[in-house]
Chain A
Amino acid sequence: MAVLTEEQTMLRDGAQDWVTDRAPVSAFRKLRDSGAGTMDPALWKEIAEMGWAGIVVPEEHGGSDFGLTGMGLVLEEMGKQLVASPLFISGLVAATAFRQMGSAAQQGEWLPRIADGSAIVTLAVDEGNRHDTARTALTAEASGSGYVLNGTKTMVIDGMDADAMLVLARTSGAPGHSAGLTLLIVPTDAAGIERHGLATVDRRGHAKVTFSGVQVGPDAVLGEVGGAHAPLEKVLDVARVGLAAEMLGMCQQAFDTTLAYLKTRVQFNTILAQFQALQHRMADLFMEMQLVRSAVEHAVREIDAGGDGAEEAAILAKAMASDFANKMTRQMIQLHGGIGMTDQYDAGFYIKRSRLLEMTFGNAAQHCERWARMRGY
């Protein structure tokens, strides 16, 4: 654990207390079993009241400006108990997009509402079977003074609960080219939008969104027309580090739960923790988890420092966290044996959520590819 300031320690402890008290895994299980939705609005209200939705929002827009260092701590704690909330996509990703790409007017309009939780804003970037922003085919054609959008987005995080979407659209060029992409803010109740909830394995609120002649004004564009790719990748790197922090928390909990189980389960008249084969497996997992923690904590700091090291750090954090989350959730089931296979036990929740997060905004292999290209090999 990185050395924290007093404020950061308070934030982390507060998050830990709230998550264990108000939103433990059992709360997610209840939500899933009830079939009532993919998030609990009452919990989201509490999250917003505590100010967490404004952690990366500047103070002038009603946030606390604690940066990713602060948000990472909260996401890590939420990851531990698989808290279902739009904090990641709205409070971190959309807020960062507005901060880094939005005009003063757009920031003034959206950031205060993101910070107080009254608006949930998501990001609609994916279309194909893999995350790849350059392959965007959804079009935004100039029409009058604004644009008309046509196309389909998938895996839109918390898309069913969102009030607005930041949509990546092609204003010129062909799919596969990174030039010609534009980011636009579109309210989800605009005419021509059809949303369809995807029943993903983690039972969270992902959506497929179809745009049929959706009209937006000229002020919907964030940043430069046709030049969204590079600045959006920077926003996505922030998102990737946020995901890595969530995965780190998830791994920590999966590890701790497994360790506790090994210390209580008796076979051959011995608790399982006494077996050296299992001790060594846990020691290896623990070692690897330390490396992942270092990568994540480093990335969080690099992002906040805003220097040249941020991209490499984000790649490292997302790739290592994805690889390890895959391994840790597999081992969680294996080391629990039969009970790990049952739906009544939580291990299944962890592996299901992990598989989804591993591929969100690029899987480990895609980030390894980035790493190699960055170094010119």
Chain B
Amino acid sequence: MNVQDSQLSAFRAEAREWLDKNFPKSLAHRGDEYFDIAPRYPEGEDWAAWRKAMCSKGWGTPTWPTEYGGGGLTRQQTLILRDELEKIGGFIPLTGIAVSMFGPTLLEYGTAEQKQRHIPPICRGETIWCQGYSEPGAGSDLASLKTRAEDIGDNFLVNGQKIWTSGSMHAHWCFCLVRTDTSHKHEGISFLLIDMKSPGVEVRPITLISGKQSFAEVFFTDVKVPKENLVGGLREGWTIAKRLMQFEREGIGARRMTVGELRPLDEVAREYIGTDAEGRIADLDLRARIVRHQMWERAHRLTVARVADEAKTGPSEATSVLKNAASHALQTRGEMLTEIMGFQGIGWDGDDYTQTEKDSMKQMLQNKAHSIYGGTYEVQANIISKRILGMLDHQ
């Protein structure tokens, strides 16, 4: 065993002992409930205690630098930590945009003052952030965004409208793409941090086809934003925005289904459809499709692990591959559940359907967003063909 190996096994022993002492047994295997209500945090003593313990240790954000409240762990140590967590049904109690997308980006592009101000509260799980990217006229063509930030001396004056801003109803802060220069498209964009309590910010929730209100529109009317809240230089916003979107896709590509029917499809199918004399799911065509779906899902998980293994520094274009593969897996599963549950699977409300049945339908509908947000399936295909396959290289 070399020095590095023995240090790692010492870390494993230390992590195991600490987790054994601090992880509330009552929360074992309950990480999914937790993520489902993001960006809010669940109520209850054990939840609070677990969050507090992990955050004071810095392990809520294990790879972030200790000077800002992170854990300062190496990639290998983080893998060990996750491994030890998994063994006891544990989970990292911080989630959401701030941890998965904004924090890593600010650590790369923010000034020391900006990091000192914003990163520690994220590590403590205190601030909720939302993402001011899409606009009514700027969806897939994000760089055509129009929200203006005008230089008025010490402040920017922001006017415009953002849409599909998830979690904005609860958010304390918004990282926002704004136009500071109208003469250039991509190069006219800047990256601005806006306090959601500022006068002139208005949030209007949007009801989706699933009945959920997880997204909202955000209106900015003469909102004053201090100049110190500009990340990177003026007109450098697009570069930062793209980096952040890589972190975003990485998160989306690895996401699991969290509500509705969570059991393996074959189990659900045996219950709703029954089996033949040989014990096979009575619908043989469906049975064959369940197999192929499970194989795809398994291979997708293996790819998530492989990409993490191969990655030396953060996410790459491979995240576009993972995101599209995940969209396919999630949406196929949602559709198949509806098919399997039959008449019981098409309920919306009322006592004729179980909660799981109703949630499964809503999840199927909600999942349609997976191939739209964070860059549509087609935009990801553009990125793969352009950046990985170099299909635009010979123009």
Complex interface residues of chain B between 151 and 207 (CB less than 8 A to chain A)? none
Chain A residues within an 8 Å CB radius of B295: 295, 316, 319-320, 368, 371
Chain B residues within an 8 Å CB radius of A298: 302, 306
Contact partner of B270 among A290, A295, A377, CB < 8 A?
A: A377
Q: Which of A41-49, A80-88, A276-284, A343-351 is the contact stretch?
A: A276-284
Complex interface residues of chain B between 67 and 94 (CB less than 8 A to chain A)? none
Interface presence of A263 (CB below 8 A)? yes
Interface presence of A26 (CB below 8 A)? no
Is the Cβ of A291 less than 8 Å from the Cβ of B299? Answer: yes
Chain A residues within an 8 Å CB radius of B381: 279-280, 283-284
Contact partner of A274 among B296, B318, B391, CB < 8 A?
A: B391
Contact partner of A287 among B310, B382, B384, CB < 8 A?
A: B384
Given A286-B384, A377-B275, A377-B287, answer yes or no on A294-B391 (Cβ-Cβ < 8 Å). Answer: no
Is the Cβ of B325 less than 8 Å from the Cβ of A273? Answer: no
Bound-complex Cα distance A11 to B259 (A)? 47
Chain B residues within an 8 Å CB radius of A278: 391
Is the Cβ of A3 less than 8 Å from the Cβ of B391? Answer: no
Contact partner of A372 among B291, B302, B318, B321, CB < 8 A?
A: B291
Interface presence of B385 (CB below 8 A)? yes
Q: How many A-B residue pairs have CB under 8 A?
A: 117
Interface presence of A375 (CB below 8 A)? yes
Is the Cβ of B392 less than 8 Å from the Cβ of A273? Answer: yes
Contact partner of B291 among A283, A290, A368, A376, CB < 8 A?
A: A368
**Distance between A72 CB and nearest chain B CB, rounded to angstroms:** 14
Interface presence of A259 (CB below 8 A)? yes
Chain B residue, CB-CB nearest to A284? B381
Bound-complex Cα distance A279 to B392 (A)? 9
Given A280-B381, A368-B288, answer yes or no on A292-B299 (Cβ-Cβ < 8 Å). Answer: yes
Chain B residue, CB-CB nearest to A273? B391
Interface presence of A201 (CB below 8 A)? no
Interface presence of A105 (CB below 8 A)? no
Interface presence of B352 (CB below 8 A)? no
Given A316-B299, A368-B291, answer yes or no on A1-B310 (Cβ-Cβ < 8 Å). Answer: yes
Chain B residues within an 8 Å CB radius of A369: 291
Complex interface residues of chain A between 18 and 40 (CB less than 8 A to chain B)? none
**Distance between B107 CB and nearest chain A CB, rounded to angstroms:** 25
Fill in one digit per residue for A160-183: 1 if any B CB lies within 8 Å of its CB, else 0: 000000000000000000000000
**Distance between A364 CB and nearest chain B CB, rounded to angstroms:** 9
Interface presence of A271 (CB below 8 A)? yes
Chain B residues within an 8 Å CB radius of A376: 266, 279
**Distance between A363 CB and nearest chain B CB, rounded to angstroms:** 13
Is the Cβ of B291 less than 8 Å from the Cβ of A279? Answer: no
Bound-complex Cα distance A1 to B312 (A)? 13
Bound-complex Cα distance A286 to B294 (A)? 20
Bound-complex Cα distance A295 to B300 (A)? 9
Complex interface residues of chain B between 285 and 315 (CB less than 8 A to chain A)? 287-288, 290-292, 294-296, 298-300, 302-303, 305-306, 309-310
**Distance between A213 CB and nearest chain B CB, rounded to angstroms:** 40
Bound-complex Cα distance A223 to B309 (A)? 40
Complex interface residues of chain A between 346 and 368 (CB less than 8 A to chain B)? 365, 368
**Distance between B306 CB and nearest chain A CB, rounded to angstroms:** 5
Bound-complex Cα distance A292 to B298 (A)? 11
Chain A residues within an 8 Å CB radius of B290: 372, 377
Chain A residues within an 8 Å CB radius of B388: 286
Q: List 22 A-B contacts (CB under 8 A).
A: A1-B310, A273-B391, A273-B394, A274-B391, A279-B386, A280-B381, A283-B382, A283-B389, A286-B384, A286-B388, A286-B389, A287-B321, A293-B303, A294-B299, A294-B305, A295-B298, A298-B302, A369-B291, A372-B287, A377-B270, A377-B275, A377-B290
Q: State the 6 A-B residue pairs at the shortest beta-carbon distance, nearest first.
A: A279-B385, A294-B302, A291-B299, A283-B384, A283-B381, A273-B391
